[in-house]
Amino acid sequence: MAPAASAPHTLENGIPYSVKLTIDHDWIKPFNDNGVRLIMAKVFKDAAGNETFNVVASAQDVTGDMTARWEDNYQICGSTDTFKSGQVISGISGLLDIGFQQTYVLNDWSNYFIQNDTAVPKTSFGFKNGVIASAVVQLNIDGQFSPIYMSPYKFPPGKATLRPLPKVVFWFQADLESSTMITMDVSNSITVDLSQSTTAALTYDKKGQWQQVPGS
């Protein structure tokens, strides 16, 4: 990886979010005995307007009561690596903090910076590259920045818009760790929309069915 440098609310930097999860006791031992973990991914909207997720934001061992926490504080960098499902994002450098309506400018691998950019939509940020590069985005999850998104292909020189949504996806899966690049081919998942609230509560019952607690 090369260095590079109340009422409905909009997604804003620094907003804390949390989702409480209650897992039926019957699942805890078989999940842990077989290396099955609780997986969370952050949803983005791509250039075509499709909702997508492609990196494991977190992977946790299963307990009866769990909480996922994050804040909408982001970091970004350019990368010479190419997206490959199953590979772990590692060794990234040149990360810079970025906020909405800002653009990461990558003129070359030794010249990169953040600039304000009102041309970018209010809940998005830009990636403007003078060299062929992938974009890697990190999120503050439980007090630590972790990769949550990698562009699905290397961008040719130009400008792209990256839009994280106030949505996360949860599911259970074995042999996955945080920062792993993935496809959206997951089973028995639940998507949580936090556009109306910063908190939610979920249950996973004895039958293996997800439910969002009403009013959460």
Instruction: Give how far Cα 196 sits from Cα of 13, 167, 171, Å.
Output: 16, 11, 22
Instruction: Decide if pLDDT at 16 tops 60.
Output: yes
pLDDT of residue 92: 86
Question: How confident is the prediction for the chain on average, in pLDDT?
Answer: 92
Residue 69 belongs to some domain of the structure:
yes
> Cα dihedral angle (147, 4, 76, 142), rounded to 10 degrees?
40
Residue 163 belongs to some domain of the structure:
yes
pLDDT of residue 48: 81
pLDDT of residue 93: 82
Residue 93 belongs to some domain of the structure:
yes
Residue 9 belongs to some domain of the structure:
no
List 79's β-bridge partners, or say none: 134
* Residue carrying the six token digits 């997951």: 186
Instruction: Provide the pLDDT confidence category of residue 13 given band limits of 50, 70 and 90.
Output: low
Residue 171 belongs to some domain of the structure:
yes
**How, if at all, do strands 65-79 and 96-98 pair?**
antiparallel
What percent of the chain clears pLDDT 90, i.e. is strictly above it?
87
Question: Domain tally for the chain?
Answer: 1
Residue 2 belongs to some domain of the structure:
no
User: How far apart are alpha carbons 8 and 90 in whole angstroms?
Assistant: 36
Q: What is the pLDDT of residues 77-135, one digit of tens each?
A: 999 999 999 999 987 888 999 999 999 999 999 999 999 999 999 999 999 999 999 99
Nearest to 90 by CA among 59, 60, 127, 55: 55
Considering only residues 65 and 3, tell me which one the structure prediction assigns the higher pLDDT.
65
| Domain coverage including residue 207 | 16-212
Considering only residues 6 and 87, tell me which one the structure prediction assigns the higher pLDDT.
87
pLDDT of residue 63: 98
pLDDT of residue 46: 87
Instruction: Decide if pLDDT at 11 tops 80.
Output: no
Give kind and range of the element (H or E) at residue 201. Answer: strand 199-204
Instruction: Decide if pLDDT at 8 tops 80.
Output: no
Residue 8 belongs to some domain of the structure:
no
Over range 15-26, report the average pLDDT.
97
Instruction: Provide the pLDDT confidence category of residue 47 given band limits of 50, 70 and 90.
Output: confident
Over range 181-198, report the average pLDDT.
95
Q: What is the pTM of this model?
A: 0.91
